[in-house]
């Protein structure tokens, strides 16, 4: 069964996020938690836990400890909603156009971004995986929906 083209119908039935102060279910189908942004974060960036309490920061290049994708832009010190499971928009590297079904993993080129491959490439740890593209992107570096999961 294909869900292609059904986004508008689904969003028409469910018009807003459902949540509480520390968790929410997003209209895209993600499970998000509220943390604090250590630095300014942009929707779709991959984050890791900071060494500062309750804070997240952009994943570093080739990071093997990603925890989620930023749901909404957040300034430093503000609440950062982070999708830790389910569907989220994710930012690929500037030279990458998302390919539906490909695996996403933390970029070896740009902090907070992902690269992709048809299968996990040799030399990349399984812990760097962030999920799989649900659809193909519309251009290089363009936010694209992914099914998030972390190992």
* pLDDT tens, position by position, 85-135: 999 999 999 999 999 999 999 999 999 999 999 988 777 788 999 999 999
User: pLDDT digits over 30-69, tens only?
Assistant: 999 999 999 999 999 999 999 988 899 999 999 999 999 9
- In angstroms, the CA 27 to CA 58 distance is 23
User: HSE (CB half, 13 Å, CA atoms) of 35?
Assistant: 27
Extract the tokens encoding 69: 């994708």
């Amino acid at each position: 069964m294909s869900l292609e083209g059904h986004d508008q119908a689904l969003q028409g039935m469910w018009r807003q996020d459902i949540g509480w102060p520390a968790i929410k279910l997003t209209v895209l189908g993600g499970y998000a938690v509220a943390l604090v942004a250590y630095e300014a974060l942009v929707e779709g960036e991959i984050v890791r836990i900071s060494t500062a309490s309750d804070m997240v920061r952009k994943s570093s290049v080739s990071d093997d400890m990603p925890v989620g994708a930023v749901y909404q832009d957040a300034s430093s010190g503000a609440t950062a909603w982070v999708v830790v499971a389910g569907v989220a928009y994710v930012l690929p590297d500037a030279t990458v156009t998302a390919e539906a079904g490909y695996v996403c993993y933390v970029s070896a080129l740009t902090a907070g971004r992902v690269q992709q491959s048809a299968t996990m490439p040799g030399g990349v740890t399984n812990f760097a995986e962030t999920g799989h593209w649900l659809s193909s992107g519309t251009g290089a570096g363009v936010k694209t929906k992914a099914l998030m999961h972390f190992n």
